[in-house]
Amino acid sequence: MIFKILYRNAFRHKLRTFLTVSGMAIAILAFGLLHTVIDAWYAGVSASSATRLITRNSISLIFPLPLAYRDTIHHVEGVQNVSYGNWFGGIYIEEKNFFANFAVEPESYLDLYPEYVIPDDQRMSFVRERKGCLAGRKLAERFGWSVGDTITLTGTIFPGRWDFVLSAIYEGSDKYIDETLFLFHWDYLNESLKKKDSVESDQVGFYIICIEKPYMAARISDTVDAVFKNSLAETRTETEKAFQLGFVAMSETIIKAIQLVSLVVIFIILAVVANTMGMSVRERIGEFAVLKTLGFRAWQISFLIIGESMVITVLGGVTGILLTYPAAKVFSAAVGRFFPVFNITWQTMCLDFAVTVIVGILAGIVPTYRAVTVKITEGFGRIG
């Protein structure tokens, strides 16, 4: 019965309530999408393994490391496996078709990334085929690639036209794994560089280290860096998560701007709902005076007003939450090349609902105070 009263009070002025509910839905939709964008920015960090370390040149990632470092790293106590690779930076057809592409040592690399699920026959084909390449499912779908296709990249860091045969397509073990990577054999790249007598041959961009236990990360990192201290190519070793956070930090200003915009959206809708409730209570101040005369207490009147505010905000909030899923799919399709992993998390949904409840309560506080403190005689004076 009480919910029926709250609902009818909320929809006394149907147009005003409809516009407020619509505004609330749009605000929650925008808030949810903005937070999903932030989550997508941190997707690489979330997918990082606690048992993987990244070793790079201590000066910068663009400076290489000798291939000979691999055996030395492998002999460090606590290290289980070591792989390596180079950022290739190739272009497919035209520059707008950007995607991440790396030259890696296939067997050890795939051993370190079990989250890349590949059919056994395709995995063997990729490992055996010198010009073979591995592409993520989303990347293959984007360009219509199938296993066996020839793919040509134009090198930027390593000039020339590079032909590859698509040997395998991988899928992520869950929806948070990037499925837009392009991997090929580091040996294929290195052999081509040797033929050109390039100084970049037998050089790698980074090492990936698999360790036995996460708690060993700090000790092993220090040991690896100490081994190569005072060498021509000193190293910096850090956890995979710290490595990914380094890239995210480069765009920290953008992330903070998005967070600020999301807060502004909430403050705006709070003002809109508060205005709606203010007008609603002001129009019915005489009714509250009658309720006081009949013996209604302050908490009962407060419940009616806050409840009405909650009806409006929850209707708008739930609508916005439901609209977030189809909107996210459309958004992901439009910006998939920039955000390979774009998924709405349950934490975002819980945050959306929490914001909805908070807005509903805050929007009703001032009107409630006005209705509770108004004198009965003053309220009767506004009837009619």
Per residue, the 3-state secondary structure of the chain, as one string, reads CHHHHHHHHHCCCHHHHHHHHHHHHHHHHHHHHHHHHHHHHCHHHHCCCCCEEEEEECCCCCCCEECCHHHHHHCCCCEEEEEEEEECCCECCCCCCCCCEEEECHHHHHHHCCCEECCHHHHHHHHHCCCEEEEEHHHHHHHCCCCCCEEEEEECCCCEEEEEEEEEEEEECCCCCCCCCEEEEHHHHHHHHHHCCCCCCCEECEEEEEECCHHHHHHHHHHHHHHCCCCCCCEEEEEHHHHHHHHHHCCHHHHHHHHHHHHHHHHHHHHHHHHHHHHHHHHCHHHHHHHHHCCCCHHHHHHHHHHHHHHHHHHHHHHHHHHHHHHHHHHHHHHCCCCCCCCCCHHHHHHHHHHHHHHHHHHHHHHHHHHHHCCHHHHHCCCC
pLDDT value at position 336?
62
CA–CA separation, 131 vs 118, rounded Å? 18
Angle at 139 between CA 137 and CA 145, to 5 degrees: 85
Encoded tokens for 163: 């032909």
CA–CA separation, 87 vs 104, rounded Å? 9
Q: What's the whole-model pTM score?
A: 0.78
CA–CA separation, 243 vs 326, rounded Å? 33
With beta carbons less than 8 A apart as the criterion, state whether 343 and 52 touch. no
Which residues sit opposite 210 in a β-bridge?
Answer: 52, 81
CA–CA separation, 138 vs 144, rounded Å? 10
190 closest CA partner among 178, 176, 205: 205
CA–CA separation, 311 vs 19, rounded Å? 14
pLDDT value at position 381?
60
Encoded tokens for 30: 């925008």
Task: Give 63's Cβ-side CA count (13 Å radius).
Answer: 10
180 closest CA partner among 84, 101, 85, 83: 101
Q: Give Cα 344 distance to the centre of its chain.
A: 8
pLDDT in tens, 238-267: 999 888 887 776 667 777 888 888 888 888
With beta carbons less than 8 A apart as the criterion, state whether 22 and 316 touch. yes
Which residues sit opposite 237 in a β-bridge?
Answer: 55
- Nearest-Å Rg of the Cα atoms of the chain is 30
Which residues sit opposite 132 in a β-bridge?
Answer: 165
Extract the residue ranges of the chain whose pLDDT is less than 70.
1-2, 44-45, 249-251, 334-338, 377-384
Where do the domains of the chain lie? 2-43+251-380, 59-233
Encoded tokens for 119: 């059919």
pLDDT in tens, 288-303: 777 777 777 877 878 8
CA–CA separation, 252 vs 125, rounded Å? 41
